Structure 1
Amino acid sequence: MATSTSEEKKAFVLKAFDTLFNQRDYEAAEAYWSPLYIQHSAHIEPGREGLFDLIRSLPPTLRYENQLIVAEGDYVIAHGRFSGFGAPAAWVAADILRFEEGVLKEHWDVLQDEATEEQSKSKLPMFGKAFPRA
């Protein structure tokens, strides 16, 4: 898939995340992540295999939902929620991805446990329009 415009890059990232995190299609996911993928996350072992191995180790209930995605130049930032991975709270994430040669080459993330209404000082949800159900 050509990824020359911002819209194409956003669509590429959403398809990549769905393929890996929701569908668990590792063979198809290889087309989205560079074999020389650089991982900056403190939660994930190095490289594409580190990412794939992490997903393999999580329960099949893992889900990724996207709230917002922006792109500029070679970078895409996806604001999303990871749930169903066995932790008490879902993670709300800002995933920063860099493209190189039409695939995902580099990744950084910012992760936070999703707050309940009782925990939120602003009384606004971190993701979507409603707080998570307890």
Structure 2
Amino acid sequence: MSTTTPEQNKALVLEAFDTLFNKRDYATAERFWSNRYIQHSAHIAPGRDGLFDLIRTLPDTLRYENHLIVAEGDYVIAHGRFSGNGRPAAWIAADVVRFEDGKLAEHWDVLQDEATREQSVSGLPMFGNRFPD
């Protein structure tokens, strides 16, 4: 049974992502992620510790910015950009999060490198209305 609304879940995802990825405030981030967190990403070790440990290994320049967020029931999908990740290109991500008891309980993602203007066959950016600098 849900303890939060879809609107609350969207706000919680944005605050959780900002707290962990942008602020690197691990103690506060623990309040957002369930201690029974299930990780489905092929890029991240299991559980909340797997996610937090991965973020600790990434450059301090890592930043998450959100472009679109939608929610239905206990599920949220966030379309965002992870830049400053130490890779040649930012990652554009669709993160799917399931909530349980008001916390992020389960996660799936779809990731791809952000295309430049020259790489984009459509001629359109993958994130927002601008290409990466």
Question: Which of the five TM-score ranges fits, normalised by the shorter chain?
Answer: over 0.9
- Counterpart of 2:27 in structure 1 is 27
Distance 2:5 2:123 in 1: 37
Q: Residue by residue, what CA displacement relative to the aligned partner does 1:68-98 show, whole Å, maximum 9, x if unpaired?
A: 0000001000000001011000000000000
Question: What is the match of residue 83 of structure 1?
Answer: 83
Q: CA deviation at 1:5?
A: 1.7
Q: Distance in 2 between matches of 1:24 and 1:71?
A: 25
2:120 corresponds in structure 1 to 120
- TM superposition score normalised by structure 1: 0.96
Q: Residue 81 of structure 1 aligns to which amino acid in structure 2?
A: R
Give the structure 2 partner of residue 93 of structure 1.
Answer: 93
Task: Classify the secondary structure of the residue corresponding to 1:28.
Answer: helix
Contact 1:3 1:9 in 2 (8 A): no
1:1-134 matched pairs, under 5 angstroms:
4-133=4-133
Letter in 1 for 2:60: P
Distance 1:90 1:72 in 2: 28
Structure 2 residue runs of 5 or longer lacking an equivalent are: none
The CA RMSD measured in Å over matched residues stands at: 1.1
% of aligned pairs identical?
75
User: 2:4 touches 2:101 (CA, 8 Å); kept in 1?
Assistant: no
Unpaired segments ≥5 residues, structure 1 = none
- Deviation, structure 1 residue 25: 0.3
Normalised by the length of structure 2, the TM-score is 0.97
Runs of 4+ deviating beyond 3 Å: none
Measure the CA separation in 2 of the matches of 1:91 and 1:48: 21
How much does 1:3 deviate?
5.6
Q: Structure with the greater relative contact order (CA < 8 A, sep ≥ 6): 1 or 2? A: 2
Q: Which amino acid aligns with 1:26?
A: Y
